[in-house]
Structure 1
């Protein structure tokens, strides 16, 4: 996208206003999400269980175990090529909807729910450190029975459709538009029924990320604005920031996990 030169003030130049300038910051609809490479994303992000993901998973696991859920309609919004949010919901779910807009991610998810790769076993082992999870002895079979992949955007999920939900690293990484990031958080919370437990994770200060050879947009979110946006639709909010050296990649400051329950 090229910038239109601004009109000057010299003699002989048109007095007409310059054409509107389209922002160089891509919005969600500008991105070719169907070209997203889930295999490359998994190799870079999840092939080895990192300490920061372990901490986020532990905190999510313990929060959901305390929520006393059972036979719940659960959702993971913007699953992408990440199974551990869905795994954290498994013991409490009669169904888990894994939602994503990218055709390539949807295909990958459909393959995984019928028998996920061994690299996700360490993530389940972290879950199984909690008794609420260790009682589930066949997580692969459970996901195959209750998992369902839905091709839908975070902006199109229905209102008040689920009893519990997760949304990990979505609002910060689907657009370079701050307003879209805030809207994504609001739509996720609104998709849950009043009083539903949830977990949201975002990258703070992200400046974009590579998947294979492609660069994808991000929003450099700040802790205070994320917490304020979530708090507008939630109560019993608990927020924890995770920093790790070395970081997963260049171009972000930390990860933030927020858990709580949705307002009525």
Structure 2
């Protein structure tokens, strides 16, 4: 299929950078292949933070209660973050980890084969739930069921997967609010009706840096994120997570929304 640019991954480090290229750069303006996954991981995930732990716990509990088994799963915009895929692992026949950035795709492929030890604390959080602790070899399982795809959220096929995650993507692929809403709609539309999902975003984000590179973001508000998701979903649960000190300057909080997809989702 023809792919249009979209990158995964969330919101990076240091002070909020100035806008890049234009006051409101769109996704196609950004050089996503310059994204540095190693720098991103070092800043964001080298130490398991309390806010990520809370989001992972809530996602874990939601998926464990969803009665999934042998599901075809997707993590959209994986970027340099493995914990959404780990949250899907016990219930998956397959997990497609999708990203547009070639540097992120290369990093993901190395991690699928045998992920780094820094992800072990994230799996240990998952394994606090019996649905996960029964899986004794998460590395081997991810190597068997995981598949990395260079693919765009904006060109995701309809009704292709049984469950999905999209973490810190809609907020951080451009500075265009309409693109954030479209990314949410395409993600939900890629799941079959009734599929469980989890979406996480940064609220109020003003841009982020990864290594020496600046990347755009959009300052989403809680009400508009929930409204965008509700257009294609039901049984929503919404959790806002604030932590002091924050991960970086230039955002307000993290928002996790879980639920199930409707039969028709807005593209």
Q: Report the secondary structure of 2:201's partner residue.
A: strand
CA distance in 1, matches of 2:178, 2:161: 24
Q: Residues of 1 paired with 2:247 and 2:69: CA distance?
A: 34
Alignment: residue pair count: 263
Quick one: structure 1 residues 95 and 11, their matched pair in 2 at CA, closer, same or farther if it must change by over 3 Å? closer
Distance 1:131 1:37, change over 3 A: same
Shift of residue 8, structure 1, vs aligned partner: 43
Counterpart Cα distance in 1 of 2:136 and 2:162: 24
Q: CA RMSD in A?
A: 9.9
**C-alpha displacement of 1:25:** 1.0
Query: Cα distance 1:178–1:144, how it changes in 2: closer, same or farther (>3 A)?
Result: same
Normalized against structure 1, the TM-score is what?
0.92
Structure 2 SS opposite 1:219: coil
Q: Judging changes above 3 Å, is the alpha-carbon distance between structure 1 residues 213 and 66 closer, same or farther for their aligned structure 2 residues?
A: same
Q: Specify whether residues 228 and 13 from structure 1 end up closer, same or farther in structure 2 by C-alpha distance, changes over 3 A only.
A: closer
- Quote the offset at 1:125 in angstroms: 0.1
Q: Residue 207 of structure 1: SS of its match in structure 2? A: coil
When residues 2 and 241 of structure 1 are mapped into structure 2, their CA distance, relative to the original with a 3 A threshold, is same
Q: Are the counterparts in 2 of residues 4 and 19 from structure 1 also a CA contact under 8 Å?
A: no
Q: Return closer, same or farther for 1:14/1:202 CA change in 2, 3 Å cut-off.
A: closer
Structure 2 unaligned segments of length 5 or more: list them: none
Q: Per the alignment, in what secondary structure is the counterpart of residue 73 of structure 2?
A: strand
| Aligned equivalent of 1:184 | 183
The alpha-carbon distance between structure 1 residues 11 and 148, as it changes in their structure 2 partners (threshold 3 A), is closer
Whether the 8 Å CA contact 1:204–1:223 is kept in 2: the answer is yes
| Structure 1 residue 87, shift from structure 2 partner | 0.2
Post-superposition shift, 1:18? 30
1:4 equivalent in alignment to 2:4: yes
**Per chain length, whose mean CA-contact separation is higher, i.e. which structure has more relative contact order (CA < 8 Å, sep 6+)?**
2
Instruction: Check whether the contact 2:77–2:98 (CA below 8 A) recurs between aligned residues.
Output: yes
- CA shift, 1:157, in A, is 1.1
CA distance in 2, matches of 1:12, 1:87: 21
Residue in structure 2 matched with residue 43 of structure 1 by the alignment: 42
In structure 2, distance between residues paired with 1:6 and 1:231:
23
* Cα distance change on mapping 1:63 and 1:23 into 2, 3 Å: same
TM-score, normalised via structure 2 length = 0.91
| Alpha-carbon offset, residue 24 of structure 1 | 2.6
Say whether the 8 Å CA contact 1:3–1:21 is kept in structure 2. no
Kept in 2, the 8 Å contact 1:4–1:21? The answer is no
What are the equivalent positions in structure 2 for 1:8-87 lying under 5 Å apart? 24-87=23-86
- 1: distance between equivalents of 2:178 and 2:94? 31
In the alignment, structure 1 segments of 5+ residues that lack a partner are none
Decide which structure has the larger Cα Rg and report it: 1
Distance 1:242 1:3, change over 3 A: closer
Other structure's SS at 2:8 match: coil
